[in-house]
Amino acid sequence: MKVLYHHRIGSKDGQFVHIAEMVHALEQEGAEVVVVGPGAVDNQSFGGESGLISQLKKRLPRAFYELLELTYSVLDYWKLRRAIAEHRPDVIYERYNLLFVSGVWAQQRYALPLLLEVNAPLLDERGRYDGIALHQLARWSERHVWRGADHVLTVTGVLARRIAREAVADTRITVTPNGIEPEQFAGLPSREEAKRQLGLNGRLVLGFTGFVREWHGLDGILDLMVEYPDLNLHLLLVGDGPARAPLESRARELGLSNRITFTGVIEREQVPTYVVAFDVALQPAVVPYASPLKLFEYLAAGCAIVAPASENILEILTNERNALLFDPEQPQTRTDAILRLANDAALRQRLGEAAASTISEQGLTWRTNARRVLEIAEDLLKTRAKGQTGERP
């Protein structure tokens, strides 16, 4: 099967990881994949964003920037037309974005099944965090794409229910959580050896991966380290972000500069070598519809995980089985969970082993997701073929 993978991302971050992993997994499952999207992202270093996009966001009035986003769909539609004419794909697989309707136009023009991957309700998200000037236009574009797609794939059941409220039938929605490539975590050193290689032997490592923000509440971990010096805790932060400078400043104030490590932005293939060193992996509270990539890294590395007992996380984790879960409304429960793990090596071992097994038990791999995408695509193509021949579907 030939798949046209369509997107509009301009930054090399978790979104790019998802795209790269899904393209690779589709190819592993025997599909031929043609990617149509902004080419500049391929040449950026990990963590980078298109300079033009950044400047436009900063300098243009919000309404004008949103109109430019929609205008991009017109230009992108012609790219799609050329790609379809040249490669003759069987289906379009699109990563949803707000004010991005060219995929639906191509679907309608060429009668190609459109599978839409939705990772967030972007109208809700942007309205909450950045603001939306042309709300009605954005709402039209979101509903138009969600309803127009032949099938919608969401990363959580929470998000699936949100989309169903927009008159998208449950039969046209499938939940495919984010995943992992298990081979990336094969052949890694033991936890103790990984810690030794990082100069952290003898420390109990609390770890976090990703873009560090203030609302992650990692400053509370520093307070915990001061309160319990005998535990010899070390905070290992694999990534970067706006909370880095405040955390480093706070660590200096508390005399903890030698007990906190920021790796800065690193390439994706390096991440497993750090995650495997985590004695306790920290998953802070997340937005209610998310499927955090870091969670699957923690599982694959066999970490003892501390995570919020929110509905989306409960789709993957079970308290006392493959993680310790805390009440996101009660910060002390997170502290209690960390202390419990810090003082119980046997519990860390048991939860870590169950975490590693979760990947295979729940099929949390990119190849599983790719296989499901291709199965749905095959069903859509068969249904269309029956309709064209006059047969009853």
CA separation for the pair 203, 277 (Å, rounded)? 10
Give pLDDT, residue 391.
40
Give pLDDT, residue 390.
44
Task: Report residues of the chain scoring pLDDT below 70.
Answer: 12, 40-54, 388-393
Residues of the chain by 3-state class (helix, strand, coil), percent to 5: 55, 15, 30
Query: Residues 219, 250: contact at Cβ < 8 Å?
Result: yes
Give pLDDT, residue 44.
55
Query: Residues 256, 219: contact at Cβ < 8 Å?
Result: no
What is the per-residue pLDDT across 230-268, written as a single tens digit (0 to 9) for each? 999 999 999 999 999 999 999 999 999 999 999 999 888
- What DSSP state is assigned to residue 11? B
What percent of the chain has a predicted confidence (pLDDT) above 90?
A: 84
Domains of the chain: 2-179+365-389 (3.40.50.2000), 182-362 (3.40.50.2000)
What is the per-residue pLDDT across 271-299, written as a single tens digit (0 to 9) for each? 999 999 999 999 998 899 999 999 999 99
Give pLDDT, residue 52.
62
Give pLDDT, residue 46.
52
- Which has the closest alpha carbon to 286: 267, 309, 302? 309
